[in-house]
Structure 1
Amino acid sequence: MGSDERKPLLSINDDNSQDVTPKESFSDKFKGFIKKSMTKETVSILIYVVLYIVSGVINGVLLKKLMIKFVNYGFFLSQLTNYGYLPIFLGAMWYKMYCTNDVPKETRDFPQYKFVIMGLLDAVNGFFVVIGGISTSGSLQQLLNQAIIPFTMIASFIFLKERYSLIQLGGATVILSGVVIALIPSLVGGSSGGNILFYNFFYLISVIPGALSNVYKDIAFKSIDMDVWYLQFWDCLYQSLFGSILFPINNWLPPPATIKFTAILPAMKDGALCLGGKNSILPIYNGTSSVLAFGSCGINDNYVCDDCHNTWVIVLIYMTINIAYNIFILLVLKHAGATVYSIANTVILPLTNIFFSIKFIMGAATSPFSGLSVAGLLVILFGLGGYRVGSMTKKPPPETPKDSEETIGGSNKNNLAVSGEITPIQPKNQIYLRNQFFGRLGIDVPESRYRVANINNN
């Protein structure tokens, strides 16, 4: 018997044996996919998105806390949120104009009347938001904000001849249904969180000038690559000037926003004192007892006492977070695009509502979840999802020569994954970013234009 006959049948040294490679498990495949996906660009996008969501939630909570602090000085707060940013935008614009080449002559020669119209629309929008928001709970504010989508669609249909798919129309209808459901507690008089029905609708009306502003921005700036800081300064300037002359409206508003013509200057003075932390409207007690006297503040929700402690700290934190929030808007739009931005906005909505329901954060202004508020939130989220799906599946119009000239990049670059490889997300071009910035609330205005504008990336 030869040596070959004595070799074990399953010997690993058998020349006829075959190497059997273990089958790759699902976990190994998943780890490999993650490793390929986690490029430097992708990690940066994830960081931008997370920071955008976090800053968006904090921004919404701080704005409501400011409204609580200035409950008796809503007009002063509207002026503060306008004029407070002027020095920042002025400094940024000056640097851009005199230390960089980002503001060419074409931009400087842009007609001022267009900034005036935009500032007027934004001033009216901001006035309704602040005055109405003081007597609208934070959670309800977040739900009412979503009405900007169907109202912008209507404005785009009328002025821009934009057409929408059935899925988008269905999503917008569902969003409006969710808004109505969210308003039911106020309509039947069982609302909580400081809601007053008149001011709930006052806040809701703000979406009309907001939608018109979105559409006008698309009309006015579609032919020029406008520098963001240059735009922000002039918009803020005219918004502040128009906002200053809206005070007569307060003369006819019900409490707590009532300001008679003769009381506007004292109210502004008391608002400034509140900013510094000093209370002007204090409770009045009967003698030495702890019983509030007739006519004292704190007896009902329409006439509350001042609580201005550390107001200036909240203002500084809010302005800082708000600037960071707007920067992350640009970063997400530039590096991730409309789809990721829309998803992030959808995530912000329920997260913010959760924070508004935490008493440790909101104190007396806590908005506890009710059956109708949860139902309204779920319906709106469902409508937002339908609208986003319709936006992504809608076919853009055929590319025209004009579109080709406007598109930056020169050649058509295919960003689709090939053979299972993960292609890094490309930064968006300037025209796409500009159009998306004007739709910073997540509105596609008009969607077909910016989608075509981004066919070719940088």
Structure 2
Amino acid sequence: MVFGSYVLIYFTILYTRRRLGIVTNEMMDVPKWRFAIIGFLEALGVATGMAAAAMLPGPVIPILNQTYLVWQLLFALLILGRRFLLNQIAGCLLVAVGVVVAVSSGSGADTTLSGIGFLWPAVLVASAAFQAGASIIKEFVFNDAAKRLEGKSLDIFVVNSFGSGFQALFVFLLLPFLSNLKGIPFASLPSYLKDGAGCFFNTGAKISGCDGAPILPLLYISTNLAFNISLLHLVKISSAIVSSLTMMLSVPLAVYIMSKPLPYLPGGSSLSSNFTMGCIVLVLGLLLYNIPTTPTKQHTKTS
């Protein structure tokens, strides 16, 4: 349902911008098969990520997800032909380490991978690879469109709309697999979706866990839309890696905010000194990545 909401909103905005002349015919002629690849990779990332998350301890998940940045560096090298300076590589690694330290603070011994085996951690790492590949292809689409459009900038809602549309399509095709992961028989899926819609709009009988609907779900969707649009705009004006680094900065910020007593959430909790240390390491990594350097002929644009 959430995927459908995003697709509807994105295409409504795209249609409006098309009518206003902001989106041109040339922009709409960008090859759509690239968006199909983006949607397919993102759908695979969702499916494999859910499969692995169901089998792994909670604190392990954000730690393994930091391989996303490593995959981005690799794909930027292979797909975009980009070269990175030593300080940028070190900065990315510091950011990942900082996030791991911050989100694992106070988790205890259950953050280790001992006794879990190799399969499900590998599946989660593969999920990060699918998502990272999609982000790098988005950057490639923007770079290639700038050449096709003779220097004009491709509107981000072309990428958002068609990318999300294909993602929703492939997620729909993967619904039998996804419902099985949640222990829901495929035949019961329509009833499950109907109950979910009732919870979303807060209609019918009061259901536990639906407090605050529909205001809270709509607030989540609007905030997430603004966040996704901002990240894609950052990809457009800089790079997928800069966007990823910015997104990683939001992780400890979100953990800090969630530790405070908020409406509809359990009471606040204290954060250990590891959280502060992780945030410091993360910020140092961002500063290291963005140290001004003099470009040379051996290096292409890196941010």
TM-score, normalised relative to structure 2: 0.72
Are 1:267 and 2:192 counterparts? yes
Shift of 1:161: 3.0
State whether structure 2 residue 12 is matched by structure 1 residue 91: yes
- C-alpha offsets along residues 10-46 of structure 1, whole Å, 9 cap, x if unaligned? xxxxxxxxxxxxxxxxxxxxxxxxxxxxxxxxxxxxx
Stretch moving more, 232-241 or 124-133:
124-133
**Residue 300 (structure 2) aligned to one of 445, 448, 458:** 448
8 A contact 1:143–1:377 mirrored in 2? no
Q: Distance in 1 between matches of 2:185 and 2:268?
A: 30
Deviation at 1:264? 2.4
Residue 233 of structure 1 is aligned with which of 149, 161, 172?
A: 161
Structure 2 unaligned blocks of 5 or more: 113-118, 146-152
Change (3 A) 1:367 1:142: farther
In 2: Cα distance, 1:152 partner to 1:142 partner: 16
| CA contact 2:43–2:167 (8 Å) conserved in 1 | yes
Structure 2 residue aligned with 1:189: 110
Distance change >3 Å, CA 206–CA 117, structure 1 → 2:
same
- What is the rounded CA distance, in whole Å, between the counterparts of 1:448 and 1:280 in structure 2? 59
Do the aligned partners of 2:27 and 2:154 also contact (CA within 8 Å) in 1?
Answer: yes
Larger RCO: Structure 1 or Structure 2 (Cα < 8 Å, ≥ 6 residues apart)? 2
Q: Structure 2: which amino acid aligns with 1:308?
A: C
Q: In 1, are the aligned partners of 2:180 and 2:186 still within 8 Å (CA)?
A: no
Give the direction of change, closer, same or farther, for the CA distance of 1:280–1:167 in structure 2 (3 Å limit). farther
Percent identity for Structure 1 against Structure 2 = 22
One-letter identity of the residue aligned with 2:215 = V
> Aligned equivalents of 1:267 and 1:202: distance in 2?
27
Q: 1:262 to 1:87 in 2, by over 3 A?
A: closer
Q: Counterparts of 2:170 and 2:256 in 1: how far apart (Å)?
A: 35
Cα deviation code 1:91-146 (max 9, x no counterpart): 2222222331x333322222221111111122233456678789999999877765
Shift of 1:357: 0.8
**TM value normalised by structure 1:** 0.51
Retained in 1: the 8 A contact 2:45–2:130? yes
Does residue 322 in structure 1 map to residue 224 in structure 2? yes
Verify the 8 A CA contact 2:142 2:236 in the aligned structure 1: no
Q: For residues 250 and 238 of structure 1, do their structure 2 counterparts lie closer, same or farther at Cα, with a shift above 3 Å needed?
A: closer
Q: For 1:175, which of 89, 95, 106 is the aligned residue?
A: 95
SS for the counterpart of 1:93 is helix
- 1:379 counterpart residue number: 281
2:179–2:186: 8 Å Cα contact kept in structure 1? yes
Q: Read off the aligned partner of 1:228 and give its amino acid letter.
A: I
Shift of 1:358: 0.8
- Distance, in Å, in 2 between the alignment partners of 1:353 and 1:394 is 36
Amino acid at match of 1:214: S
Q: Distance in 2 between matches of 1:331 and 1:213?
A: 15
Where in structure 2 are the equivalents of 1:277-292 lying within 5 Å?
277=202
Partner residue, 1:119 = 39
Q: Is 1:212–2:140 an aligned residue pair?
A: no
Q: Quote how far apart the aligned CAs of 1:81 are.
A: 2.6
Check conservation: 1:356, 1:362, Cα contact below 8 A. Answer: no
SS at 1:96 equivalent: helix
Which residue, out of 79, 104, 114, partners 1:159?
79
Q: What is the match of residue 354 of structure 1?
A: 256
Distance 1:129 1:316 in 2: 24
What is the DSSP-based 3-state SS (H/G/I as helix, E as strand, rest coil) of the residue aligned with 2:144?
Answer: coil
Shift of 1:83: 0.9
**Equivalent residue runs for 1:141-152 within 5 Å:** 147-152=67-72
C-alpha deviation, 1:220, in angstroms = 3.5
- Report the equivalent of 2:149: none
Task: Give the aligned partner of residue 81 of structure 1.
Answer: 2
CA distance in 2, matches of 1:200, 1:281: 38
Distance 1:166 1:140 in 2: 28
RMSD of Structure 2 on Structure 1 (CA): 4.4
Shift of 1:273: 2.1
Q: Provide the rounded CA distance (Å) in 1 between the counterparts of 2:264 and 2:58.
A: 9
Structure 1 residue 362, shift from structure 2 partner: 6.5
